[in-house]
Chain A
Amino acid sequence: MVRYIAPLVVVILLIGFLVIGLTRGDPRALPSPFIGKPAPQFELPTLKDPEVRIGSTNLEGKFSLINVWATWCAGCRQEHGFLLDLAAENNIPIYGINWRDTRPKALQWIAQLGDPYVASGYDETGRVGIDWGVYGAPESFLVSGDGIVLHKHLGPLSRETWEQDFLPLIEGGGASR
């Protein structure tokens, strides 16, 4: 009897693994090692004014959304409308990291499509992107007031992912300001 059951168990296990592997969604989405850990320190010149700098100190004391974007990134265009809506609702400040882009193009993008960001840091060389473990724009990080990364979303944001993955974390975190 065992000699029939054992192979069956092995096959069922194997099927189980395959089902998990095939249905677990985007295989490119990697877990960020920053979740639950302090957000990487950064400081960048802003997109609009190279003399002004934004960085980790700007994020202190409130939930913020860090959005890594670039004009060459199709997903960024896709999520832009939602980011504008989110900014208009005034629930959370959105900080941009303009990643591996050129300033004129990025400024034009914001002028044409609207600017949802409190400010965007201009990461021309991709140094800050690497510090944040960014590997494909758009990427969005939810950072708590004490500087802990609560969530990372890979790919375009939408109302649905926002309500499902971000809002519960913000509401669960108590008063944000």
Chain B
Amino acid sequence: MKRWLIILVAALSVAPAAAIDTGKAFDDPELQARYEKLISEVRCLKCQNQSIKDSNVFLAADLRREIRRLIAEGKTDPEIVDFLVTRYGEFALYRPRTSGKTLILWIAPFLLVLFGGFALYRVVRHRMSLPIDDAGSEGGTE
């Protein structure tokens, strides 16, 4: 028990050390919130399964710096997202925008659920129409 506690404490104490850009970028809490949201939604292109918030690769640091600069210049979030997409493409966004190209990403899950629901409905309806036969309930005549 004690050993586990020590391991837990050790693990927790590592987290702040590994964090990146722990300092605040903006004094204004509203700007800071926008900054944090933006950097957590931009993919680090060099380390493609991390956001630029989570990565300490220099490219991620450069992109954070650019986003800080753009916010400080008074750019809106869509303008900043645009800045990134014109340079790196839609892939840079973890939350792709709804557009012709990315529409399939957004509707595919709903289509799949619809398709699955329809299939389920068909199966259930078919089963319900089968005569109840206790003796041979294993398979029926399917």
Instruction: Decide yes or no: A30 and B45 within 8 Å by CB, A126-B62, A135-B59 being known contacts.
Output: yes
Q: Which of A28, A30, A130 contacts B89 (CB 8 A)?
A: A30
Task: Return A28 CB to nearest CB of chain B, in Å.
Answer: 7
Asked if A100 and B58 sit within 8 Å, CB to CB, the answer is yes
Residues of A within 8 A of B98 (CB): none
Number of interface residues of B (CB under 8 A): 14
Asked if A130 and B46 sit within 8 Å, CB to CB, the answer is no
- Choose the segment among B10-18, B19-27, B30-38, B80-88 that binds chain A (4+ C-beta atoms closer than 8 Å): B80-88
Asked if B91 and A30 sit within 8 Å, CB to CB, the answer is yes
Name the residue of chain B whose CB is nearest to the CB of A28.
Answer: B48
Residues of A within 8 A of B66 (CB): 127, 130
Q: Which residues of chain A in 19-42 are interfacial with respect to chain B, using CB atoms and an 8 Å cutoff?
A: 28, 30-33, 40
Bound together, the chains give a CA A129 to CA B86 distance in angstroms of 13
Instruction: Decide yes or no: A135 and B58 within 8 Å by CB, A28-B48, A130-B66 being known contacts.
Output: no
Any A CB within 8 A of the CB of B63: yes
Residues of A within 8 A of B85 (CB): 33
Number of inter-chain CB pairs below 8 Å:
38
Q: Which of A28, A40, A127, A135 contacts B88 (CB 8 A)?
A: A135
Residues of B within 8 A of A127 (CB): 62, 66
Residues of B within 8 A of A131 (CB): 87
Name the residue of chain B whose CB is nearest to the CB of A131.
Answer: B87
Any B CB within 8 A of the CB of A112: no
Bound together, the chains give a CA A31 to CA B90 distance in angstroms of 10
Bound together, the chains give a CA A120 to CA B45 distance in angstroms of 24
Any B CB within 8 A of the CB of A136: yes
Asked if B87 and A33 sit within 8 Å, CB to CB, the answer is yes
Task: Return A3 CB to nearest CB of chain B, in Å.
Answer: 9
Asked if B59 and A126 sit within 8 Å, CB to CB, the answer is yes
Residues of B within 8 A of A133 (CB): 87-89
Bound together, the chains give a CA A125 to CA B64 distance in angstroms of 13
Bound together, the chains give a CA A77 to CA B45 distance in angstroms of 22
Bound together, the chains give a CA A129 to CA B46 distance in angstroms of 13
Bound together, the chains give a CA A33 to CA B87 distance in angstroms of 7
6 A-B pairs closest in CB distance: A135-B45, A133-B87, A126-B62, A33-B89, A133-B88, A135-B46
Query: Can you list 14 contacts pairing A with B, beta carbon distance less than 8 Å?
Result: A28-B48, A33-B85, A33-B87, A33-B88, A33-B89, A126-B58, A130-B62, A130-B87, A131-B87, A133-B87, A133-B88, A133-B89, A135-B59, A136-B59
